[in-house]
Structure 1
Amino acid sequence: MSLPPPASPADCATPLPTQGIPGALRRLGAALLSRDFRILWLGAFTSTIGTWMQKIAQSWLVLSLTGSAWYLGLDSFLGELPILLFTLVGGVIADRHNRRLLLISSQVVQLSSATLLALLVWFDVVRIWHVLLLSCLTGFAQAFGGPAYQSLVPSLVPKKDLPNAIALNSIQFNLSRVIGPALAGIAVASVGLAACFGMNALSFLAVIAALIALHVPHVRPVNSMPMLAEMKGGLRYVRDDRTLVSLIIVASASTFLGLPMQTFLPVLAQQVFGQGVDTYSRMMSFSGAGAVTGALAVAWLGRFHGMGKVLLGLQATFSLLVIAVAWSRSVHLTYLLLFAAGLSTIITSSLVTSLVQLVAPDAMRGRVMSIYMVAFRGGMPLGSLVSGALISRIGLPVVLTLNGSLLCLAALYFLTRREGVVRV
């Protein structure tokens, strides 16, 4: 029996009528005109608000239980370790199986993990090993759900709207980073940490409902090779594409050297400024507000010439902002610096993700995105683990300065090259 031809992104995207919608809004939210993307975006937005509530509460819980920056880094590392170990397998599975069902399974596991942590905190029996173990379980679920999500999105919108869709995903993620910490601060002050974990568990129901409602068809691959052979094929494909290699190195450097700053914002709030969880929440909110602004800019611009040069320039800018945050002793100035850092880093990450997805063919997208995710998601926990160990010895300002300086050098190196990122 012959198999049906693969569905193109345009075939799977059901657009809304655009009459009466101003041109500016149509350009800014082009991908939201596609029904399936719109439904998934709303579900993901709700769930991500809960995720940020848990992130704030969990970081504060770890610091309260241990008083150690090293444990903050360890928690981040263990949450991402399964992504390093299993995402390549997850990418092969995403290319072979129903991506929507894989995502639903991933959300159920994360819902269960958040519920268990809420109960442990509520009954005051939580220990640091509970937190670390549940972080690892959540990371395991994300290792299989992440490639499925990244490879599902291009099938929900026309190809011309893919950069807009990625930017809109960044908007919902970072708008959640503004709303989630603010809600977390209120919830912790009025109800306690357990409420944040419980509300996160409930938020997963929204994205599960959205996934069930999608109309995107699952097209089985025509040829199915052994999993190891398909994994090797994905690695060979990326290795032989210089553009993909340089994009992945840029993403890895950014997350390894730049994003650990977010992991240690509780240390900055508590030990540098002598403040509590409310200041930490505001720091995260300002960073998130900057990221939303940056994502709006990417959504407006869409695909444009010279994306590679722009992302490298902004990566260099972000590295200087990391150094400025390290030595700021005014909390209000720090808020502004974090806003600017959030703006620059989200434009950089949105552009590099767009370019990787545009370069990767549909049949290889799950595997290419899984390799990209290992570099992008894996950089932060590894960087946090190394930075956490160094902070205990030489202090937060020196470590952030070192990270920012190395990141700036990496951006300048790729800007001077005649191939790779600068050519896309």
Structure 2
Amino acid sequence: MFSSLRVRNYRLFAAGQVVSNTGTWMQRIAQDWLVLSLTGSSAAVGITTALQFLPMLLLGLYGGVIADRYPKRQLLLMSQAAMGLTGLALAALTLSGHVQVWHVYVTALLLGLVTVVDNPVRQAFVVEMVGQADLRNAVSLNSANFQSARLVGPAVAGVLISAVGSGWAFLLNGLSFAAPIAALLLMRTAELHPAVTAPRGKGQLREGLRHVAERPELIWPIVLVGFIGTFGFNFPIWLTAFVNDVFHADASTYGLLNTLMAAGSLAGALLAARRGSSRFRLLVGAALLFGLLEIAAALAPSFWFFALLLVPIGMCGLTINVTANSGIQLASDPALRGRVMSLFMMVFMGGTPLGAPLVGWITDAYGPRVGFLAGGAVSLLAAAGVGLALTRAVGVRLRVDLRRGHQHVVFVPRRRTTEESAGESAGDSAGNAAGGSPGGSAERVAAPAA
């Protein structure tokens, strides 16, 4: 479960990140509650979230080009310092009593611009610290690290907001970035696994997009996380609305709900760290269950039933993220990994500017329950659609057998039509004539799905 921690550079990285992530979660909670206090609007919370992720949607692929072109450790030093400065600026405005909602909007947008580079670089830097063998484990532990901080950050933020206000949470977040900066400076560069850097050239964005489009094991998981990230992960909007409008509670309750979700996410991350592979069926199954659980939470009759459902929701959401993330990294060409991961992060996080205002408007207009239910329904439908597409891509179909003594649900080879068989035979003949191997594309798809 913790094999990646044998690597000194990764231990330093993980230690710095847990401090910084705790501060980040404190700022997220404080920022959402500050906007709600200033405006009284769930849509305003959605706008703040959208502004933070809008740069990823518009510029995310360029962040991937930068990640592939320049040394990642130096890029992380600059991005982490810039993110710390945004926290300190918001702290100064809030503690001085001059903060207005547009200040929060601007700070969120600036943070999003830095994230365009920071996210793909941080994702692609993992393999440089631990190598290919421990990549899946390190990705899972990164998520466990993030969720461990999520257990502490919201709870501390809730207490600070209730006791002394949001400004101190912003201040502590700004100071917390000293830890990852120190960790990066203390790393032994000779022990890193340097990646091949891409030289300047035309068409690098198109090259990355073409690489993804030609590989079903890349494109369909990215499509799935895009739908779920856009419509299913709008928890700042839903949880603030449920706390304020349904349960009529305060910031400490909001922190409690985030902590419960983090507990489930942490469990999901640790379970993912124990797994030896990332399977498509696990990804799709977790996405289906995620949508069903969100619908159930939207209809929850009581506070504690709602709160307890957040634990498995967090577990499923984390499983989706880790399984897609590690599977995509391992299936990508190393020279294109930064661009592939930037596309992954762009659709996962960059879809929020599209989904958050819409979900915020639905929540304001029709109530928190309808907003939450709509997000769960979209996630469920996306999982079903992508699951069908993946089964066709790997040449299998789902068979249900309810007879006693038989395996009830199993994947079996899909029967080919006459046209498909003829087309495949023609393709194999052409491939053999050209000196290639038949069915190369199918082999490439089937391997990670096994």
| TM, length-normalised to structure 1 | 0.89
User: Structure 1 residue 371 and structure 2 residue 346: aligned?
Assistant: no
5 Å matches for 1:72-87? 72-87=45-60
User: Measured at CA, do residues 123 and 371 of structure 1 come closer, stay the same or move farther in structure 2, by a change above 3 Å?
Assistant: same
Identity of aligned residues (%): 35
Question: Aligned equivalents of 1:320 and 1:259: distance in 2?
Answer: 14
Question: Aligned equivalents of 2:57 and 2:113: distance in 1?
Answer: 10
SS of 2:188's equivalent?
coil
Question: Aligned equivalents of 1:403 and 1:197: distance in 2?
Answer: 29
Give how far 1:148 is off. Answer: 0.8
User: Measured at CA, do residues 60 and 420 of structure 1 come closer, stay the same or move farther in structure 2, by a change above 3 Å?
Assistant: farther
User: Is the Cα–Cα contact under 8 Å of residues 325 and 337 in structure 1 kept in the other structure?
Assistant: yes
Within the candidate set 359, 362, 374, 2:334 is matched to: 362
User: Structure 1 residue 129 and structure 2 residue 102: aligned?
Assistant: yes
Partner of 2:143: 170
Partner of 1:190: 163
The residue identity in structure 2 corresponding to 1:145 is D
User: Is the Cα–Cα contact under 8 Å of residues 256 and 380 in structure 1 kept in the other structure?
Assistant: yes
Aligned residues: 394
The residue identity in structure 2 corresponding to 1:299 is A
Question: Aligned equivalents of 1:266 and 1:126: distance in 2?
Answer: 20
User: Is the Cα–Cα contact under 8 Å of residues 140 and 272 in structure 2 kept in the other structure?
Assistant: yes
Within the candidate set 346, 370, 373, 2:318 is matched to: 346
User: Measured at CA, do residues 240 and 267 of structure 1 come closer, stay the same or move farther in structure 2, by a change above 3 Å?
Assistant: same
Partner of 2:35: 62
Give how far 1:240 is off. Answer: 1.4
Question: Aligned equivalents of 1:384 and 1:351: distance in 2?
Answer: 24
Within the candidate set 244, 268, 273, 2:247 is matched to: 273
Within the candidate set 224, 229, 238, 2:212 is matched to: 238
Deviations 1:35-55 (A, max 9, x none): 111110110111000000000
Deviates more, 1:408-417 or 1:282-291: 408-417
Partner of 1:95: 68
Give how far 1:193 is off. Answer: 1.0
Give how far 1:322 is off. Answer: 0.8
User: Measured at CA, do residues 273 and 105 of structure 1 come closer, stay the same or move farther in structure 2, by a change above 3 Å?
Assistant: same
Structure 2 gap segments, 5+ residues each: 397-445
User: Is the Cα–Cα contact under 8 Å of residues 86 and 144 in structure 1 kept in the other structure?
Assistant: no
User: Is the Cα–Cα contact under 8 Å of residues 247 and 420 in structure 1 kept in the other structure?
Assistant: no
User: Structure 1 residue 71 and structure 2 residue 44: aligned?
Assistant: yes
User: Structure 1 residue 318 and structure 2 residue 294: aligned?
Assistant: no
User: Measured at CA, do residues 220 and 376 of structure 1 come closer, stay the same or move farther in structure 2, by a change above 3 Å?
Assistant: closer
User: Measured at CA, do residues 391 and 189 of structure 1 come closer, stay the same or move farther in structure 2, by a change above 3 Å?
Assistant: closer
Within the candidate set 215, 220, 226, 2:188 is matched to: 215
Deviations 1:238-283 (A, max 9, x none): 1111221101101101111210134321111011100010110000
Deviations 1:304-326 (A, max 9, x none): 5xx11011111111101111111
Deviates more, 1:345-354 or 1:209-218: 209-218
User: Measured at CA, do residues 399 and 224 of structure 1 come closer, stay the same or move farther in structure 2, by a change above 3 Å?
Assistant: same
User: Is the Cα–Cα contact under 8 Å of residues 90 and 144 in structure 1 kept in the other structure?
Assistant: yes
Partner of 2:200: 225
The residue identity in structure 1 corresponding to 2:199 is S
The residue identity in structure 2 corresponding to 1:288 is A
User: Is the Cα–Cα contact under 8 Å of residues 152 and 259 in structure 2 kept in the other structure?
Assistant: yes
| TM, length-normalised to structure 2 | 0.84
User: Is the Cα–Cα contact under 8 Å of residues 231 and 375 in structure 2 kept in the other structure?
Assistant: yes
Within the candidate set 201, 217, 229, 1:255 is matched to: 229
Give how far 1:329 is off. Answer: 3.2
User: Is the Cα–Cα contact under 8 Å of residues 237 and 360 in structure 2 kept in the other structure?
Assistant: no
Question: Aligned equivalents of 1:382 and 1:209: distance in 2?
Answer: 36
Question: Aligned equivalents of 1:162 and 1:45: distance in 2?
Answer: 19
Question: Aligned equivalents of 2:37 and 2:64: distance in 1?
Answer: 37
Deviations 1:48-82 (A, max 9, x none): 00000000100000000000011010000000011
Deviations 1:118-140 (A, max 9, x none): 01110110000000000000010
User: Is the Cα–Cα contact under 8 Å of residues 273 and 329 in structure 1 kept in the other structure?
Assistant: no
RMSD: 1.7
SS of 1:274's equivalent?
coil
